[in-house]
Chain A
Amino acid sequence: MSMTKSLSGWGRWPVRDCQTIPLRVDAGFGDGPGFGARTAIARGNGRSYGDPALNPDMTVEATAARRMLSFDIETGELVLEAGVMLADVLSVFVPRGWFPPVTPGTKLVTIGGMIGADVHGKNHHGAGSFADHVNWFDLLCADGRVRRCSPQENADLFHATCGGMGLTGHILAASIRLQRVGSAWIRQTTVPVPDLDGAMEVFETNLDTTYSVAWIDCLAGGADRGRSLVYLGEHAEPDALEGTSRSDPFHLPPRRRKRMPMDAPGWALNRLSLRAFNHVYYRAGCRAAGPGIVDYDSYFYPLDSIDNWNRLYGARGFAQYQCALPLSTARDALLEQLDAISGAGLGSFLAVLKRLGPGAAARPLSFPIEGYTLALDFPVSSRALTLLDRLDEITIAAGGRLYLAKDSRMTQSTAEAGYGAALTRFRTLRAETGASAIFQSLQSRRLAL
């Protein structure tokens, strides 16, 4: 039975009343993939930032399909329903010595969502994106049939679905490959760098390091432009650990949960408070420079320990911005974007820079391309939206693109310029399989995906 819910993405903007229905895989799909509505979109845990998991006609809540089905201890193959949370996979399998091959910056996402956004992590330069580690998935298609899709079987559908934001069908179950790790801990090295060139040099000389990511101070201007803390990481083997961790390398002490109890007032985040925060954060990073051992939870998911951290940006919500820039143009484009940001006086707490490895040409809407990706977030305001339009221009002029999982406001022409012929291919596949008539989100309508 369906019911109306007021839904948004993680950025809490936009918000819409949507008909919702839980995805109950046992009940069968007699009403077809629209569940009685004209159009529908699947939704995981609602961690995409904008409007890709919103459809007022019918939003299918995949979190109801959350069973793990089998695990092969020889190969690491895990079969599960699409609504299983990554957090559950971690809590079950890390104590047994297994880890997801690719993880985004939050564990509060579903496996179906990870495939739909073809998420990447701090190891993209070496490991590729999540779909590179998917054996197959079962897809409920527009004709009401469930198809097994893999790189060998229904390959076009497989590739279009990885990164396809739920627009090819509803993912019901998937088979993914986990990797063995030596412990639940990460050997982290913090490298402070004074400017963007310094950061890029650390990335380029560490392409054989498993994990790398940089926090970038986007309010620092002039000579400090692009000053960053680059975090390098490797899974720690037990002999790198001390005390009880060495004998019990997969056990982590329970983490204290924090909570953002209410919306921050609009004035709390301003140029001065951000500048002060960034300054203190950078100095603290410089003092902590060098190697250290961190548990995987703090390393990969620092914000997950604060419930509802999205309230930090106040009741109006916020917009994430994430672009990928080709290697050849990345440096100049990043400098131009940093100038535009500090020129507008709109800093971002979470400014993250990351080196991307080769993209997946076969997957039309998969976001990563070889080069750099910059992620920022801004409270929604007319000034911020103007700035984001300017950042779009720089991204597109540099031959880059925006991440659909973060987007709430780009234009159709920006999407077309960013994804080019691949988007045309995606649209053709959607039309040919009947998907475009049924699988729609507010984002797909906005961008004519």
Chain B
Amino acid sequence: MIPTQSPVLILGARSDIARAMAAEFAARGHPLMLAGRDPTGLERDAADLALRHQVAVSVHAFDALELDAHAAFFDALPQMPRVVVCAVGVLGDQDVDVTDPARVRQIIDSNFTGPAHALEVAAQRLAAAGGPAAIVGIGSVAGDRGRAKNYLYGAAKAGFAAYLSGLRQRYIASDLHVMTVKPGFVATAMTEGMDLPGPLTSTPEAFAKQVLRALDRKRMVYYVPRWRLLMGIITHLPEPIFARTKF
């Protein structure tokens, strides 16, 4: 277990899952660093977390797409985090995105290149500092099998999952634990307006609680149990059958 006084850095802190995880860490007493592209927009979240949970919360500018700035970003943090959560990602709109080269690159970079590079930089520093540390990467079940509806996003998330798997193996002998999280449907701003099936949908708050419990147990890949079952079936469907389904 990571001691509760350990600082937690959240990359992509504006997302609803990131906010819920921030609240869960704060409720346990962890000081927080919230990082995102628009730090002024994070000020209200920081105020809320500090007020409710009486922990120190700071806000930092971070752009996952500025790869060259990642190292300087980590080195400029007021304290070295012991837990880094990466919730950076963009769902996009598949049908529009695939027709526009700039958007194809943006989806891949936002969901794969940027997060992967940022976590590489983070992992080096966490491992070098020694002591229990963790990296939590938020992937997606969309990365488990490419579907017509969101295969660009899914492909990037698949890459991110492979990256996290490799990172985990590389540091397995150290105190740095790498956990991959694969949310199914979570009722967030990202899924607003979608008609989500109730039994497969969780709230960000409930999901965040489960993720922290999984981290306590040093799980390597965390799915919501129902999704683990569902994706187990979907990933094992023979391609000729899967290709004709309408998931």
**Which residues of A approach B to under 8 Å, CB–CB?**
1-3, 22, 24, 26, 67-71, 81, 88, 92
Contact = CB atoms under 8 A, between A and B. Distances in A.
A24 B189 contact: yes
A92 B51 contact: yes
Contact of B41 (A2, A26, A88): A26
Interface of B: 41, 44-45, 47-48, 51-52, 189, 192-193, 195
Given A92-B51, A92-B52, A26 B44 contact: yes
Given A26-B44, A67-B44, A69-B44, 11 more contacts: A3-B192, A3-B193, A22-B189, A24-B189, A67-B45, A68-B47, A68-B51, A68-B52, A69-B48, A70-B51, A71-B51
A68 B48 contact: yes
A3 B192 CA distance: 8
Nearest to B52: A92
A2 B51 contact: no
Most buried by B among A2, A67, A71: A67
Nearest to A88: B52
Contacts of A68: 47-48, 51-52
Most buried by A among B41, B47, B51, B195: B51
Given A67-B47, A68-B47, A2 B52 contact: no
Contacts of B193: 1-3
11 contacts: A1-B193, A2-B193, A3-B195, A22-B192, A67-B44, A67-B45, A67-B47, A69-B44, A70-B47, A81-B44, A92-B52
A321 to B, nearest CB: 34
B187 to A, nearest CB: 10
A88 B51 CA distance: 12
Nearest to A67: B48
Contacts of A2: 193
Contacts of B48: 67-69
Contacts of A3: 192-193, 195
Contacts of A1: 192-193
Nearest to B44: A67
Contacts of B192: 1, 3, 22
A88 B45 CA distance: 15
A40 B52 CA distance: 31
Nearest to B19: A67
Contacts of B195: 3
A407 B133 CA distance: 56
Contacts of B41: 26
A92 B193 CA distance: 32
Contacts of B51: 68-71, 92
B114 to A, nearest CB: 22
Nearest to A71: B51
Contacts of A24: 189
B105 to A, nearest CB: 25
B37 to A, nearest CB: 13
B212 to A, nearest CB: 19
Nearest to A22: B192
Nearest to B46: A67
A88 B27 CA distance: 13
A2 B52 CA distance: 30
Q: List the 3 closest pairs (A to B, CB-CB), nearest first.
A: A1-B193, A67-B48, A68-B51
Nearest to A24: B189
Contacts of B47: 67-70
Contacts of A26: 41, 44
Nearest to B192: A1
Contacts of B189: 22, 24
A1 B195 CA distance: 12
B55 to A, nearest CB: 13
A276 to B, nearest CB: 38
B63 to A, nearest CB: 18
A88 to B, nearest CB: 8
Contacts of A88: 52
A205 B192 CA distance: 55
A69 B44 CA distance: 6
B189 to A, nearest CB: 7
A3 B47 CA distance: 30
A7 to B, nearest CB: 16
Contacts of A70: 47, 51
Nearest to A79: B47
A70 B192 CA distance: 29
A70 B48 CA distance: 8
Contacts of A81: 44
Nearest to B53: A92
A68 B44 CA distance: 8
A120 B2 CA distance: 46
A431 to B, nearest CB: 34
A70 B49 CA distance: 10
